[in-house]
Structure 1
Amino acid sequence: MIRFAPLKVAAFLAAVAAAPMAMASPVCTKAPQAKWMTPAQMKGRIAKMGYRDVKVFQVSGSCYEIYAHTKDGKRAEVYFNPVNGAVVQNNVD
């Protein structure tokens, strides 16, 4: 019979419960979608910022999110404020 230490079990359960929260997108705006830039406007802004090879462009929570490459060719996952186009979170590999 295998015995688990109560603290190890509690730590494991806390880690499992926190995992989905770590993957959640950031809060980019509280403005209603009627105030957001259109996807075409945002895609134009993204291109001017130098992101290329956009593989994914999607709404993620209150953000526009892309998977693309930077000017330097690095992979990037970027969250944008859909109202003003500002980068809220940038994860570059």
Structure 2
Amino acid sequence: MKLIKRSIFAALVPLVFAMSSGSALAHGDVKCTTEPKEKWRPHTELEAKLTKEGWQIRRMEKTTSCYEVYAKDPKGKRVEAFFNPVTFERVEE
């Protein structure tokens, strides 16, 4: 019985890692801007703008060219959205 449990565990571990890394790589090609970071507006400014528009921000991250926002949009839908850090325009994947 222990051998079966180990085999199942050994098969599941790589599968879990593959699934979790897939979502992280899914948006690796999103390009928001080529402007240098010195020209980026503060992410707190984007957060305030989105909150005023009815977004409920859970988390924000900086990528190499975007602000990545995990939130509920004004319609209550959970989203992962990308914004140009200079113009704050939403960028589609």
TM-score range, shorter chain: 0.5 to 0.7
1:65 and 2:78 are equivalent in the alignment? no
1:21 CA displacement: 5.5
Residue number in structure 1 paired with 2:34: 30
Given residue 49 of structure 1, which amino acid in structure 2 is its aligned partner? E
Partner SS for 1:58: strand
Partner SS for 1:67: strand
Task: Tell me, in whole angstroms, the C-alpha distance in 2 between the residues paired with 1:49 and 1:89.
Answer: 19
Equivalent residue pairs, number: 71
1:41 CA displacement: 1.1
- Identity across matched positions, percent: 32
1:23 CA displacement: 3.4
More helix as a share of residues: 2
Structure 2 gap ranges (5+) = 1-21
1:50 and 2:54 are equivalent in the alignment? yes
Given residue 28 of structure 1, which amino acid in structure 2 is its aligned partner? C
Residue number in structure 1 paired with 2:79: 76
Task: Tell me, in whole angstroms, the C-alpha distance in 2 between the residues paired with 1:73 and 1:43.
Answer: 16
1:39–1:22 Cα change, 3 Å: closer
Q: C-alpha offsets along residues 25-64 of structure 1, whole Å, 9 cap, x if unaligned?
A: 5100000111011122111122133211x11101022000
Given residue 69 of structure 2, which amino acid in structure 1 is its aligned partner? I
1:87 and 2:87 are equivalent in the alignment? no
